[in-house]
Amino acid sequence: MVQLSGRTVQDAEDPDGDIAIDIIGLRPGEKLFEELLITDSVVGTHHPKIMRADEKRDPSEIGIGQLLEALQEDLAGDSPDRLRMTLKQAVEGYDPEILEPAAALQTSADVLSLEERRAFRQKSL
| pLDDT tens column, 40-85 | 778 888 998 888 887 766 555 557 888 888 888 888 887 788 888 8
**Predicted pLDDT of residue 15:** 92
Encode pLDDT of 79-124 as tens digits.
788 888 888 888 777 777 654 454 545 544 455 666 777 776 676 6
Query: What phi, psi does 19 have (nearest 5°)?
Result: -130, 125
Residue 119 within a domain: no
**Is the Cα torsion angle 21, 25, 26, 32 positive or negative in sign?**
positive
**Predicted pLDDT of residue 108:** 46
Mean pLDDT (whole number) for 26-52: 82
Q: How many other CB atoms are there within 10 angstroms of residue 23's CB atom?
A: 4
What is the extent of the structural domain holding 89? 63-94
Q: What is the pTM of this model?
A: 0.34
Q: Report residue 10's pLDDT band, with 50, 70 and 90 as the boundaries.
A: very high
Angle at 109 between CA 107 and CA 111, to 5 degrees: 80
**Predicted pLDDT of residue 32:** 79
Domain count, the chain: 1
Residue 79 within a domain: yes
Query: What phi, psi does 104 have (nearest 5°)?
Result: -65, -40
Residue 89 within a domain: yes
